[in-house]
Copies of this chain bind each other. A is one copy, B any other.
């Protein structure tokens, strides 16, 4: 049985090839009647337009989806940018999914794999039950999220970042350091940041102090939690915040309450996006290699899709960036 071509459709419908092409591409003027006739013939002959056939039989869409909580956050905005840049290098396009506030979204995006709309997914967030991911282990790579035993993960050296920041605060003379974490119920390597904190604190026999600020709540609510920390007698002389947004909010509140930074309280954040580094240069932070995280995730995923053996875990080094919020102004 010969494959049906556009010429067969044109002949059968009694129209020109150009007309069929116009209907297929929805271009130029075509009467509804003519359109109907062409579409009916296409259906009747089971004609598959070339590009559909090509993409279907090659089993490749050349699209990769990226699931992040929200591109509003500087870390994920920057990560998205670099993932797209890395994918473009290999001829792939990017889908984006802001999954925050909607766990159904994430399920919908997993279904894209089934429909062959995307070849693979990079997951930088998860709300869906982990078991859902089991069906797609050979098409997913995660960034800073442990999904299943077999899904490869790319992450920063969170543990060492937590240690470096805490060590630095101790070196600068802090003895009562607060650790700001995300929602501890969400299992992510980011929790290793506070393990690094704990290990350094215990080594020095200081008290461990924690405050939890869930990632997905409003900035307004975050601010409220931070202000409450300062109620009564604020007693911390150091703050290690697991992300830069919280670190900066702490700085703002401290200044608003009349504290002298860094004399009364020193602050170190985490992430070190380019925009935070330039817009808030006074903030000390642990810098994640965001561009490299993106590149590693992309190349690992593309290797996986080719059936190559890939590393189950890639851990990239972080760097401590020190500024006046820990060391005092250099002026």
Contacts and interface: CB of A to CB of B under 8 A. Distances in A.
A105 interface: yes
A80 B295 CA distance: 22
A135 B27 CA distance: 8
B26 A59 contact: yes
A130 interface: no
Copies in the complex: 2
Interface in A52-106: 52, 56-57, 59, 63, 70-74, 76-78, 80-81, 84-85, 88, 93-98, 101-102, 105
Interface stretch (A142-150, A160-168, A277-285): A277-285
A80 to B, nearest CB: 5
Given A52-B56, A97-B94, A72 B219 contact: no
A223 B42 CA distance: 59
A275 B1 contact: no
A186 interface: no
A66 to B, nearest CB: 8
Contacts of A280: 279-280
A25 B77 contact: no
A264 to B, nearest CB: 16
A114 B245 CA distance: 41
Contacts of A46: 1, 3-4, 45-48
A282 to B, nearest CB: 8
B88 A279 contact: no
Interface of A: 1, 3-4, 25-27, 39, 43-49, 51-52, 56-57, 59, 63, 70-74, 76-78, 80-81, 84-85, 88, 93-98, 101-102, 105, 108-109, 112, 114-115, 117, 135, 219, 223, 245, 248-249, 252, 258, 273-276, 278-281, 331
Given A252-B279, A252-B281, 5 more contacts: A71-B77, A71-B81, A73-B77, A245-B275, A245-B278
